[in-house]
């Protein structure tokens, strides 16, 4: 059964727009769990543009499902993760000038360094996932770092407009997922997924879990977080039954 992790970063984005105390992403996480989320994802960025250290620490106490911490592979962030001990760390690339994550990790170019961070975190009992593009070279390199899972970047698939582009990107995802599973990696997927475009990704047998944030938060602004999550859970469950 494919699972859903809800990213509540953009609840914090709304809060930080006014530098006030609401809406609270911790409250949103609780509502997401009530709506059927299998986990909560947050990205603690170096510039603290949305999620704050306080949010992470409170969520560690309150989240009852899986707490997945997205973070850059820096010494500061590794130290925070080792202190807070989330249920999972997802290493992602990070640039201050980007609006959102623009692509997967350069696992080939940073292989030795990433392997060191993975070893440190997993040595402390924190499973590590690497956010990568659906590229066979990066899948192989991800395995060699010692990480236990990958999250396939579905950004290009989500942004594709023409049918040909959608089909091509979906095929890359399918091949990367098959390769990763064959190597013994657990496979997750996320970035730009919506209530509509997730249907094709649901057909990828190896994908166990989705990380979805912006589209759910956008829907939640209209119908509430619990309802928005329930709607996405129903979409995923329908795909589970179909496959």
Residue 43 annotated in active site: yes
**pLDDT tens for each residue of 78-114:** 999 999 999 999 999 976 555 455 689 999 999 999 9
Let me know: does 138 contact 108? Beta carbons within 8 Å.
yes
**pLDDT tens for each residue of 193-236:** 999 999 999 999 999 999 999 999 999 999 999 999 999 999 99
Q: pLDDT grade, residue 132 (50/70/90)?
A: very high
Identify which of 32, 120, 14 has the alpha carbon closest to the alpha carbon of residue 68: 32
Residue 27 annotated in active site: no
pLDDT given for residue 101 in this prediction: 56
Per annotation, catalytic residue among 33, 70, 206, 226: 70
- Degrees (nearest 5) of the Cα angle 83, 86, 88? 130
CA distance 210 to 124: 25
The CATH number for 124's domain is 3.20.20.70
Q: 132 in helix, strand or coil?
A: strand
Q: Which helix (DSSP H) or strand (DSSP E) does residue 44 occupy?
A: none
What is the rounded (10 degree) CA torsion for 39, 243, 233, 52? 30
Let me know: does 196 contact 158? Beta carbons within 8 Å.
no
Per annotation, catalytic residue among 94, 191, 206, 209: 191
The model carries a pTM of 0.94
As a whole number of angstroms, the longest Cα–Cα distance in the chain is 47
Residue 191 annotated in active site: yes
Task: Please give the tally of structural domains in the chain.
Answer: 1
Domain membership of residue 216 as a residue range: 3-242
Mean pLDDT of 25-50: 97
What are the tokens at 226?
């619990």
Let me know: does 169 contact 196? Beta carbons within 8 Å.
no
Identify which of 164, 84, 81, 167 has the alpha carbon closest to the alpha carbon of residue 129: 81
């Amino acid at each position: 059964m494919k699972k859903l992790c809800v990213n509540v970063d953009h609840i914090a984005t709304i809060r930080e727009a006014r530098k006030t105390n609401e809406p609270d992403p911790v409250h949103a996480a609780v509502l997401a769990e009530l709506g059927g989320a299998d986990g909560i994802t947050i990205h603690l960025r170096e510039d603290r543009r949305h999620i704050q250290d306080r949010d992470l620490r409170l969520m560690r106490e309150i989240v009852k499902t899986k707490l997945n911490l997205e973070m850059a592979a820096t010494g500061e962030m590794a130290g925070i993760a080792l202190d807070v001990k989330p249920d999972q760390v997802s290493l992602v690339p990070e640039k201050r000038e980007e609006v959102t994550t623009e692509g997967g990790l350069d696992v080939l170019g940073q292989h030795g360094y990433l392997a060191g961070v993975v070893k440190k975190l997993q040595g402390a009992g924190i499973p590590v996932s690497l956010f990568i593009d659906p590229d066979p070279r990066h899948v192989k390199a991800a395995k060699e770092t010692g990480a236990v899972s990958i999250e396939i970047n579905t950004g290009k698939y989500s942004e594709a407009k023409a049918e040909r582009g959608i089909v091509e990107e979906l095929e890359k995802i399918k091949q990367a997922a098959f390769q990763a599973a064959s190597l013994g990696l657990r496979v997750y997927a996320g970035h730009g997924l919506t209530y509509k475009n997730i249907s094709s990704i649901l057909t990828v047998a190896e994908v166990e879990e989705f990380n979805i944030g912006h589209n759910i938060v956008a829907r939640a602004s209209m119908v509430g977080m619990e309802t928005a999550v329930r709607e996405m859970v129903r979409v995923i469950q329908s795909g589970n039954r179909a496959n």
